[in-house]
Amino acid sequence: MKNLSMIKSMLLSSAILMAGALPMNTAAAKPDENSSASTNGTAKVSATLPQFIILHYYSAIELNFDTPASETIDEGKNIMNVTWAGSVYDNDELKPEELKDAKLELDNDLVTVSLPNVWAVRGFAPNGKAKVSIEIPEGGDELKQQSSIIEMSSMNVTQGNNTGTSLDVELNGIAKSRATTGGVTMDLDFMKTTRSGEHSGGLYKITAETI
């Protein structure tokens, strides 16, 4: 009987110890609802742009040449021998090649005119470049006023220090502030020009293309 009492006492002590090991507040065993969870992913972004080009140009160019001062040029003294019949002989005569210079003098009738910044291009291209070219359309090489004619030839485009009938230039994107600008040069021949006033009919065509 004594041994049985000892066994019962041991079992009771073990039950008490196990009960003490259990949590007193069952709410403490739940997950913390204020803790955060996170994950992430990375997305690849690409953009495909079309190739296109914008050409800015003047559709009409009016060249107003400076008005030189009218002059009287004294060619000196001319001694003339005259017969009693009224014929003059052995006298000096004005010869075109011997005339004195005026304030406005040209080496010949050809004048090269440079027009700065009369075209601009911008846009997108496969290699970021464009070709700008110039030509005179058929029938556009003469500026006329009746029988007075100014002949136009040798059209070139210019950009920086480069010049030619066509040039490869940088596009620099689509912003107006970064547009590539350039000029035009042309020869005007006044050999057949006899009248003052407006001479019209000259044409040039500028072409811009992506490359």
Q: Which residue has the higher pLDDT, 198 or 67?
A: 198
Q: Write the DSSP string, the chain.
A: -HHHHHHHHHHHHHHHHHHHHS-S-GGGGS--TT--------------PPPEEEEEE-S--------PPP----------EE-TTS-EES-----GGGPPP-SS--SSSEEEEEEEEEEEEEEE-TTSEEEEEEEPPTT-SEEEETTEEEEEEEEEEEETTEEESEEEEE--BS-GGG-EEEEEEEEEE-TT----S--B----EEEEEE-
> What pLDDT digit, counting tens, does each position of 163-192 carry?
999 999 999 999 999 999 999 999 999 999
In the chain, what are the domain boundaries? Answer: 102-211
pTM of the model: 0.75
Confidence label for 136 from pLDDT (cuts 50, 70 and 90): very high
CATH architecture of 102-211: Sandwich (2.60)
Region 11-29: mean pLDDT is 53
Q: What is the pLDDT of residue 102?
A: 84
User: How does pLDDT run across 2-16, given as a tens digit for each residue?
Assistant: 454 555 555 555 555
Per-chain mean pLDDT for the chain: 88
